[in-house]
Structure 1
């Protein structure tokens, strides 16, 4: 007996799609300013609105239970990237005019992965309107479209906790207020506030003469992809196209984006102890500092060649420190920006960066990866296991920040981590095998591994041909579809998607 009221999920998905037309007003406005692709976005808005209304008609109104909430979140996240391809296809320019490439780019945008099928030439082909839409998809996906819906619409807020827990990165939802809709609004207000502050500071650098290349368009475009840890840039050279002053400013904002946004509520309430004494925050900052110092030493001693982008690091204190701090902040929380082609760095430096990719940002942040809090719980539970092995009669709960972690939460974290690593390994093998069927594609083991971790971890760039100034364009279309799926399940933390493929979800 089917127990899932799927029509309710479909109707609400239609509402989400319908209101996506409002977001398209931004690229439409940019198109009007620059006189580009106005018709593309008018037509895209019309098609998107029609599709949303059709889904609302097919579905039926009603409250969502736990299963319907899971189905709604997954349906929305699978359908929204499809809608996101419409401007790319109507624009009919460059590599993203191909349907599979358009889907890959759209999924990468909304999941804030930052992997791209645009090469240097392709980036320069597109209009300001198309490129700002590409940037905006990451900003919408960063804090979460479902979280935004919970914040705005009362009918969604009824089941808001279940919805946010299914969408938000991290093992649990941290309520800031008794009402979940107020929590969602606060999260989005913090997100919006940091975005505006970032734009203001970038423009201050520009008008102060420290960032002559950073105009209003570039400031807004990069704000749309820094706070969501997305990494898309309208510049082919990413952040390397801008001055060192801009690069130093980007670093703290990438770190902020990887911080649990709920912690900023404590700062607002002047509860500074709750912010700075948070164990996950301490571990997150500590990981950034330690990995940066290790990479800094390697670069200073000569683990990177002198390149056109990035310049010399060997023996150059400021540049070594800036390159190390930037790349660690970018890859540890899955932003994916670059100031140098780290794909050409020494093997040891690349291994350090690969390690950073697996760490991830904080729960409740816009960062990807496994998440710091999960590694903390795993390490503490291993320590507990070693202790109880030596002391069989001892009862030793796992504690984090003075609180006892429930055993069911520990099991869930172990389950997620194991499944994450399993899917990562299996996908790396499949990507390598798929590339092996095409004689014109030469893919190394490191490139296959980095392609898998960069997509399921929503990181974006990898190594070799997938480097920060590279592209995924040469992969077979089958691998691109696989990696698109990895980006989606990585953004939704695997379980809410895979549970839909079980019989237990659909039947009593």
Structure 2
């Protein structure tokens, strides 16, 4: 058995990715200079990252990528980004009692950032314990990871654009890649342009509310910070109370942007080109928006019946009020798209509401969005495939292809989607058991619902779970072994499992 992949070519281009990733630290460095906090942390981090990048580039001056090398490049680039992203955390925590001084904690926080998971090991989030620069870096990692690091590099680096189709297919969330323009680099730029545009729009609206006196604590720093983590469905916030720290109007503004983030960004490109029918006739888009509307109605009903002991920002516990509808809309918009923001501690809601939210977490956003989870289009295909099998069982001579939006879905695509869904559920279930067993080993009392939510929240890149893992809790109490398992889950969850497993299978010649 020997390794067949040209790892030098892949690592050489990983070095290029790392080198340019170091330049993004100029943003937190600027913030560090403004507040005069942790300046040396980001200067040193940039130097370390550039040195590592240049060293890796020297492994192969003229890299040539095949399909396997492209898979390896994508997989290692995401892990390398998490390692580089952990450097500022380690340096800032050096010599202090900060939880980020521990390497596993720093890697967990960085991986959670780049994979837009939003799970955190920070015991306390405040500007007294962490600098403005470090917290904005935490926000920025999610924005970089939202549309995809490799997609960004394809958009700006010609050496990666040559293999752009292979790379984007390996990184893009969802079962297929929609090519918007003749050149794949132009498609990457188009996607990032839409993503960037929505981010700027949200920042302007949030800061505009502050200037209008409607959001007193939504200053420019907070507006930028939350713009960085809403569109990538990340969920990190420099505020300990997440979006509950802001006024109701801020919450209403963020809800549609979370929903937008779960839509296939290619549809917005068509919309900007005057091709509105591409969006309106899209089967997944209609199913996605329909599901959100139904879920909000169900959760509003549960909250109106008293599912939450105390609702934030109003205190009403029963009745269909503006508060209950807002809380329901916000939590559905956040959890279905794996954003992880919260305006209420749903970990304290009753069992019926929590089980319903657990179901919502399984659904996920759309293919080609920044949302996590299984994805709506996969569930549509799985349900249609199951329906087809039941029909064929009753009518053995019938030939009935799976159709989606009037188009026939190829059998290869159906098998791939079913295989992914089964792998996802299997890995989720096994990981939940391992997390539960490891917690019992160290004497940490973890309920079955908490273990399930921990596994689902990390493999689905969702972030918060239930119990102590709720939206205002953290993952700090887990052992290093469980945290490393969750780091793996966040990594394979962002790359959607199959490319990572295919890499190991194809790379070995038996």
Scaled by the length of structure 1, the TM-score of the pair is 0.98
User: In the alignment, what sits opposite 1:148?
Assistant: 152
Say which of 446, 455, 458 aligns to 2:458: 455
Report how far residue 121 of structure 1 moved. 5.3
Separation in 1 of the partners of 2:311 and 2:295? 22
User: In the alignment, what sits opposite 2:220?
Assistant: 216
Separation in 1 of the partners of 2:348 and 2:38? 37
User: In the alignment, what sits opposite 1:349?
Assistant: 353
Say which of 199, 203, 208 aligns to 1:204: 208
CA contact (8 A) 2:244 2:344 kept: yes
1:375 maps to 2:379: yes
Separation in 1 of the partners of 2:247 and 2:464? 22
User: In the alignment, what sits opposite 1:466?
Assistant: 469
1:88 maps to 2:92: no
Tell me the matched-pair count. Answer: 506
> How big is the alpha-carbon RMSD for the aligned residues of Structure 1 and Structure 2?
1.3
Within-5 A mapping of 1:159-174: 159-174=163-178
User: In the alignment, what sits opposite 1:276?
Assistant: 280
Report how far residue 48 of structure 1 moved. 0.5
Within-5 A mapping of 1:113-132: 113-120=117-124, 124-132=128-136
Separation in 1 of the partners of 2:220 and 2:320? 32
CA contact (8 A) 2:126 2:239 kept: no
Report how far residue 499 of structure 1 moved. 2.4
Scaled by the length of structure 2, the TM-score of the pair is 0.97
Report how far residue 18 of structure 1 moved. 0.5
Report how far residue 149 of structure 1 moved. 0.7
Give deviations 1:191-247, integer Å, cap 9, x for gaps.
Answer: 000000000111111111111110000000000000000000000000000000000
Cα gap change, 1:96 to 1:122, in 2 (>3 Å): farther
SS at match of 2:388: helix
CA contact (8 A) 2:308 2:349 kept: yes
CA contact (8 A) 1:24 1:133 kept: yes
Give deviations 1:111-157, integer Å, cap 9, x for gaps.
Answer: 00000001235674100000000000000000000000111111101
Report how far residue 311 of structure 1 moved. 2.9
Separation in 1 of the partners of 2:126 and 2:475? 13
Separation in 1 of the partners of 2:273 and 2:28? 36
Give deviations 1:91-128, integer Å, cap 9, x for gaps.
Answer: 01521111110000000000000000012356741000
Report how far residue 394 of structure 1 moved. 1.6
User: In the alignment, what sits opposite 1:285?
Assistant: 289
Q: Structure 1 regions of 5+ residues with no counterpart?
A: none
Report how far residue 269 of structure 1 moved. 1.7
Report how far residue 501 of structure 1 moved. 2.8
Identify the range of structure 1 (327-336 vs 61-70) with the bigger mean alpha-carbon deviation. Answer: 61-70
Report how far residue 309 of structure 1 moved. 6.2
SS at match of 2:265: coil
